[in-house]
Structures are given as C-alpha cells and as structure tokens.
A and B are shown apart, each in its own frame.
Chain A
Amino acid sequence: MISLQIATTLNPRPKLSSFFVLILLAAFLMATGCKQSIPSPKPVTPVSSLTPTSPIPGIFRDVTSEAGIRFQLSNGATGNFYYAESTPGGCAFLDYNRDGLPDVFLVQAGSLVQSQGQPPRPHCALYRNDGGGHFTDVTHEARLDFDQGYAQGVAIGDFNNDGFSDIFITGLNGCFLLQNDGAGHFLNVTAKAGVGETGQNRYATSAAFGDYDGDGFLDLVILHYTKWTVATDKVCFNAKNKKSYCSPEVYEPVIPTLYHNNGDGTFTDVTHSAGLDKIKGRGLGVTWIDYNQDGKEDLYIANDLMPNNLYKNLGNGRFEEVGLVSGVAYGADGKTLAGMGIAVGDYTNEGWESLIVTNFSGQPNSVYKATASGLFEDNTYASGIGSVSLPYLAFGVSFLDFDRDGWRDLVVGDGHIDPNVAESSPNVTYEQPKLLFRNTGDGKFVSMKDELGDMAHPRVTRGLAVGDYDNDGRLDVLANNVNESVELFHNESHDTNHWIELKLEGVKTNRDGAGSLVWITAGGKRYFAECRLGSSYASSSDSRLFFGLGTTTKVDSLEIRWLDGTRQKFTSPLNVDGGYRLREGGQPQADPSFHSVAINKTDHKKMDHKN
C-alpha cells in the first residue's frame, strides 16, 4: 500500500502564536460563553403568586387552587446541576385523621446546600381534607413544620397498628419516621425506631411499607439511588456542551435497606440476613407485590440504568433475585433501562398483577404482563404504550380505572431532568404533559392525549399518587412538580359506569391489610387486586381498593385472602357505587364517608362468612 503519511515538515501545525490564540480563545470562552451556558437558577415562585393556568377541557380538571392547596416543590437548583436536584419529590394520599376522606402529603426538598444567613429550608406539607373539595394546610398543627432535610419521597403505613397512618420521609443523608398520635399530631420517632439512614452516602429515594414475614407488623424497605454527596458531585455536559446532570453511571450503585419491624416501635436492619446486600442498584421505584400469589410479599425494584430486581420471598426471612428469570429485569431487547417508577395492576383481568416501569426519554415505558406461570411477558410495544411513551421521561405512574369500565387504565407523570434538553434533542422538552392511556380490554391501551384536560399542561412531574379524594367513585390524581405548583386533578369522566371501593382492616395481620389479595365477581367477570401501600415514584396512593364494574349493578361475591392465609368469602350481593370497610374476620360494612351507598340490609344477613 502506498504510504501517504504526511511529513511533519510539510504540515505546518499551529505554532506558538496559534497556541496563544487558542489560550486566549479558551480564556474568552471561560469568561463569557461558559458562564452564559449555565442557566440562571429558576426562581422559586412565591406560593402567593401562583396563578392557575387556563383550563383545558377534558377528563381531568386541575382543582388545586379551588381546593385551597398552595404548594410548590422546590429542588433548590442554582445552576450547579447537583445530581440530587433531579429526583425530588413524592406525594401521597393518606387518611391521617380517619374521617374517611383522603388527605394529602407533599414532599419538599428546598435548598441542597444550606449556608448561614439563608432562610430556613422549606418543609413537607400536610393538607387535611375538609370535605366538599376543600383542603386546609395543617402542617404546623400536625407538628410537621421542622427541617426534614433535602427530602425525596414518602411512604405511608400504620407501622404500630394503632389505626392511624404514619409517615416515612426519605431524603438525602437522613430519613424520618413520623408516628401519628391519633390526635392530629405526628411525633418524630426516627431515632427510637432506628430507621434514620443518617450514614454517609445515604441518598434515599423511594420507600415502601410491607409485611414480608407476615408477623402482623409492617416492615420497611428503603431504596438508595447512588453513592453521592455534594462534595463528590461530578461535572457533566449535555450534547450541546452545556452543563447538565450527569448520567447515573458515573456514580457507584448501592444496596437497599430492609428494616424488620420488631413490633415494639423499633426496627432492625435485616438487609444482610435477607440477602438484599448481594446486588447493588440505583434504586428509584419500589413496591411490594405477591407476584406468584404464594402468600408472601415479594419485592420489586426499578433501577436507573441497571437491571430491575424482583426479589422472590423465600419465606424464611430470605429473598432470591429472580428478575432476569421472570422477565422483568430488562427491556425487550435485553437492554438495561433507566427505571424510575412502578405501577402494579391486573390490567388484563386474568387474575395476575402486571408491572409497568417508567423510563428515560428515548426508552419506552416497560410493560411486563404477568402470566399464571409466575413469568412475565414483555408487552411494551404490543400493549400500545411503548411507542407513545418514547419521547417522555417518566417518573410517577399508576393504574387507575378512570372510566370505571372494569379495565384498569394508566396515568404517567412526565418531565425531563435537563432544563436545556430541547436544544440538544429538539423533539424532547423539559416540561412534558402527563400521559393517560385507556385500556381497551384486549390487552392494549390507547393514548387519551386529546382528553387529558388540565393534565395536558406541560410540567416536570416526579411524584404521582391516585385516590378518590371526594369519595365520588372517580379516581383523582395528585402530582408533585419540580419548581411549579402541585396539581390535584379531579376526575370528571362523564361515564355512568358502576364501581365499588374497599378499605381493608387487618386484625391478626397488619392493620392496613397490606399484602392481602382480593377477588370480586360481578356481572360474570372476576376482578383481582392486591392491597399495597406504596408504588409509583417515591409516592403512596389511596390504599383503598377500587374496582370499576362497567354496567354491572351488583357485586356477586367478594373473596379475600389475608396475608396470614386466612380466607373470607362473601357470596351475598353487595350494592355498587359505594365504599365498604372490611375488618378481618368481620362483615363488609358500608363506609359512611361515601354518600350514596347503603349495604343491602336484607342481603347482609345472608352473607356467608368463611374463615
């Protein structure tokens, strides 16, 4: 081959003068261009100046303002692009005062680096549901107005079985367990419980209560994102050479923590003995799910750019990772995806709960359809969700049968992490609308983009929770948005379908009924759901079980398997369009907080109670 290597003498390279020009150019860029490329921090809009955006007709109406909720999640971004700014924060529906009306808890992050002379960091907020669609900020009177650090997520659960929902807040270098005293106050019992996660590099994102050993007390799993501190933050740039948030891959993954509830107000770290210390991850989404219905709560974790984990509960206090074998660890082509949030639900009404994992933009939201064999099929594209979700970076996600036709639909909260993303990826935006998918009943979903209503307003959504806050039998949606007002969406679907809601109350098993499996039969169809306390992203939805029933006007039978294996079956018809409370070992009682329902008294006596 003829060599064409250029002789150095014939290739006058930039000499000293050019070198100086380069230095000057670099200095000029450093002095001007680089500074300009870092966006100035987005000022946190004072809550008082928040104005509602113009309403968009559709299924969901933004009622935040008229409900009296004035809250804005601040991630404290200052233009430094600290990694942790991309992950706050969650939200929750909980009934803290047991009046039957779901209240609202909102996670706040605030300033990441607190320096002297700075105003105090804002704290999370609790809004009491007063009924009539109105909420009151009770953060102060509930004694929740203290510095909770740079909070990330929330988990709700009655850890001491006193009947009142307790709150667990996750955060950077510290978590908080807040015990509900039943009188409207929350006591900080973190230290006593031993779940403070105060060690270095404890970047806790999502957490969830669940009773993995079936001893009647809720245990707690806490995910950690990466080994990260402000001091170890790295500087990264996007495709347009603008400073941006780094890929999680530049930080070391970490293991989750599993705390066993000792039943005396204290917890023991059992991560090692449970076998959860073997696989590191970048955990963002977590949920308890009895995927194989063996009566033991298994654990599913969505990891960012690492395989998702499904921990099968072996029943002896240990877990075995079966994510790959079960088909829920990777994307359809074996790629690791950027898992964020998790939705769980039986969307095919085949009696098994499937999993949906939200991912980064450019990746589809994964749909893992459950089968009776305990294996999952990847239905990402076949379900119709995959291709629609590609441009969106999604975090919070939940199933909800918004039109009560008996087929679980899906809502997804989107929003990119890079404020400058549109410059490098013109078809991707920082603020994004939510996605609503209607389940067509044949294993497929269609996007409801023209009927989103106010959900179409682009936001940077992180936490998302679902609940029927006004007990009208239509599931509403709560979304916590970065540097913008929280959104409470009222479901205004015009359908005339029927429904039923169930509130479980464990006696021998945990008070919340977590891990209990419920089957109802109505109109010749069988519906299934598991009672769980946390999913989505860093959030907790209304723990009552909601079943849309289509045109069916009565429930023929109700069957429940409590976590200890006890089964109860009620074969007398239940009236539809109302809520019931079901205490373990007792009869379904009409929930007085629902206006329309009354249990059919003649049928009540016929109820067959089988233990």
Chain B
Amino acid sequence: MSMLRLLKNRRIQSLLLALGVVVASFWWWRTRPSPALQSYNQGKSLELVKMTGEALDAYKEAIRLDARFAPPYRAMAELATANGETAASIGWWKAFLERDPKAEHALCRLAQAEALNGLEKPAMKDAERELIQDPTCSRAHLALGILYARKSEATPAIEHLSVASKAYPDDPQIQLVYGKVLTLSGNYAQAEPTLKHIIEKDKRHAAPYLWLGYLFARRSTLPEDQKQAETFLRQALRLQPELPDANYELGRLLLLQQRAKEAAPLLQKAVLRKRHNVAALYSLAQAYTTLGQKESALQTQKAFRRESDFAARERVLLKSYVVNPNDIEIQLQLGLLELERGEPQAALIFLRSASLASPKDARISTALQKAEQLMKQQDPAPSKTP
C-alpha cells in the first residue's frame, strides 16, 4: 500500500522518469555502432569492391578514432600481406595481437610473415605458440615445416609439412615443398606419390618432374631407375628448357653414366644460368677432364675453386651474421665478399644496413659507393632516345 502511495507522488514519478531516460540513453550509447566500428565496416565494404586505397584510409580512420579497437589492425595486416608487404605486416600483426591476444590464427600469420622476412627465431616461437592454442592450425604447421626445412632438420620439417599437406591437398606449392623435403631427406617412397600428385593436377608444372628426376637418380643404381630419372628430367626441361637445376641434374646423371659428351652442354647451360652454381662447375670440370679437354677443364676448375671459396667464406660469415645480425664488421665483410663475387645487389643489402648503423665509417661508404656504381654499370638506365 505504502508503495502505491509513493508512486502516486509526483516528485517520485519525475525522478523515475529521469532515471529511465538515463538508463535508456546508456543502453543506446553502449549498443550504438561506434564511429571506429563504422569506419572499419566501411573499410571492409570498400575492400569487397576492390577499392583498396580507400579501404586503407577507412581502417586508418578507425584506428585514429579508437586505438584500442583491434579489428582494423588485423585488416591492415591482411592488406599488407595481400600486397606483398610482409615486413610491414609484422608490425600490424603484432599490434593486433596486443589488442586481441587470443584471436584465432593471428600468431601463425605473424609467424609466416616473420619467416618470410628471415626472422626465423621469432617465427618459430610464434608458430609454436599458435600450436599450443590450436594444435590443428595448418598454417602454423606449414610455417614450422618450412622453418625446420631451412634449418635442415628433416624430421620435424616432415612432421609439420605432412599436416599442412593434408590440409591443402590441392595447393601445388605446399605439395611441392613437402615433396622436396621428403626427397632431400631420402624419404623417396613418400615423396614419389606426393610429387606425382602435383603432376596429376597440372602436367605443365616443371618442378615436380625435376624432383622426381632427382629422386630416381638417387634412389638406386638400378638401370630402370636411372632411365626413369632421365625421362623425368628431360620432361622438366621440355616444359622449362632453362630450368638451371634440371640442366644440372640431367648433366650430373649423364656424367655418372660415363656420358660426358652429352652431359657437358647441359652443365654448361646450368653454369650459364647460375654462375655461382658450385656443383655444376664441379661436374662440368669433371666432364671436360673425362673428354680430355684440358684447357677447359683447367679454366672450369679455377672458376670452381673461386666459387667454392666464396661459398665457404659466405657460409662462415652468415653463421656469425645469424648470431649477431647487427654486427657492422660482419655486415661489411659480407658486403665486401658479395662485391668481390660480382654481386653488387646482394652487397648493397649488407652495406646499406651497415651504413645506417655507422654512417661515418669510411670503409663502409667506399664499399657502398662501389656497389652502387657497379649496380649502375650492370643495369644502366634505359635510353631516352627512341
């Protein structure tokens, strides 16, 4: 009774009305689409109609409106990845993960980007973290498979690539990586169907023929396997005549079968296409020796020694570089080595990095100048005259 009396009180009625308005306003405020979300949604719509530039602006606006709102960061990361700017995507993925640490498959995307940019340690760590969250994440398995393969750790590489391969049975690139790792680690029985599966889907793909040739050439010394290897390698060359590795593989195979005369032109081609190909130079020198072409053999041996020496020095420096990527001395040595090798483009990568860290170092500046000059000589600007 007393409650009814109270409700009849005009002052109480006004108070309740005001409270209702406040609650309703709060509810409306809480559930209204935020400006950041609106911008984000706008960006998504623009992306759908391929207006990428405009979508990018919308995402940036969403971030400006609410720096804690996670989705536009993911969108930016996806855009960067799709655009091939994987280095930029790393920052976006990290920013997204800081805002939404449990987001699905973001860690593996970050890992992929890191792996593509040579950041192997963090890539491996992030991919492994992803697998803790979701052991079935095939992208993480793919990233780890590739990373282990790069480190020549065949067993874990195969374990991870096998999962990725099952998840993407019709992706020729993933199947090829898997087939290649299986072949290189001597798992020929598994490699053969994997590589053949790619050919079943696309008979014009040269690479699986090359790896099948590689596989049969090494699987056994039985004449039928050797013959099969030759057939696959010749098919790879029919599809892609300049494929340097196929030229080398077939040349090597024929040389081992005492067919030096047939091997020599293939090995010459392999060397022409990849002048630092130590293996091809070595086999070519052997072919010349067998053919009694002493002068050519001597010259090729000389070239081989030079390249082999470069490769050994590079290997040692790169080992140090992996441990100390910011060491200017190592960067300079690598730059100088690449210059000596006649690879100014590769030299520039190391020298520019060293120059940024130590702009006043005369040795670095001189080397950098030389590399830039060589680049110009190798790749002169197109003539303006018609």
A interface with B by C-beta (< 8 Å): 1-6, 10-12, 239, 247, 249-250, 305-307, 324-325, 327, 330, 332-336, 362, 375, 378, 381-382, 384, 387, 390, 424-427, 444
Contacts and interface: CB of A to CB of B under 8 A. Distances in A.
19 contacts: A2-B52, A3-B85, A4-B76, A4-B92, A6-B91, A10-B95, A12-B95, A305-B312, A324-B285, A330-B282, A333-B252, A333-B279, A335-B278, A336-B308, A336-B312, A382-B221, A384-B221, A425-B155, A444-B221
| Dominant secondary structure of chain A at its interface with chain B | loop
A249 B316 contact: yes
Contacts of B91: 5-6, 11
Interface string B55-92: 01000000100010000000010011001010011011
B152 interface: yes
B308 A381 contact: no
Contacts of B76: 4, 6
A378 B255 CA distance: 11
A250 B315 CA distance: 11
Contacts of B85: 1, 3-4
A5 B85 CA distance: 9
Contacts of A336: 308, 312
B279 A247 contact: no
A249 B156 contact: no
Given A5-B88, A325-B301, A334-B278, 16 more contacts: A2-B56, A3-B88, A4-B88, A5-B91, A10-B67, A306-B312, A330-B282, A332-B252, A332-B256, A333-B252, A333-B279, A333-B283, A382-B221, A424-B153, A426-B155, A427-B154
Contacts of B282: 330, 333-334
Interface residues of B, number: 46
A508 B281 CA distance: 47
- Please indicate which of the listed interface residues A1, A249, A332, A334 has the most CB atoms of chain B within 10 Å of its own CB: A334
B53 A2 contact: yes
Contacts of B88: 3-6
Contacts of B279: 333-335
A7 to B, nearest CB: 8
Contacts of B256: 332, 378, 382
Contact of A249 (B56, B154, B286, B319): B319
B305 interface: yes
Contacts, number: 94
A312 B319 CA distance: 34
B218 interface: yes
Given A12-B95, A425-B155, A381 B218 contact: yes
A6 B74 CA distance: 12
Contacts of A249: 312, 315-316, 319
Contacts of B316: 249-250
B30 interface: no
Contact of B79 (A4, A325, A327): A4
Nearest to A14: B98
A34 to B, nearest CB: 16
Given A4-B92, A10-B95, A381-B221, A324 B315 contact: no
A445 to B, nearest CB: 12
A390 B218 CA distance: 13
A117 B152 CA distance: 45
A334 B88 CA distance: 39
B5 to A, nearest CB: 58
Contacts of B94: 11
B169 interface: no
A389 to B, nearest CB: 12
A317 to B, nearest CB: 26
A6 B91 CA distance: 6
- Please indicate which of the listed interface residues B151, B281, B312 has the most CB atoms of chain A within 10 Å of its own CB: B312
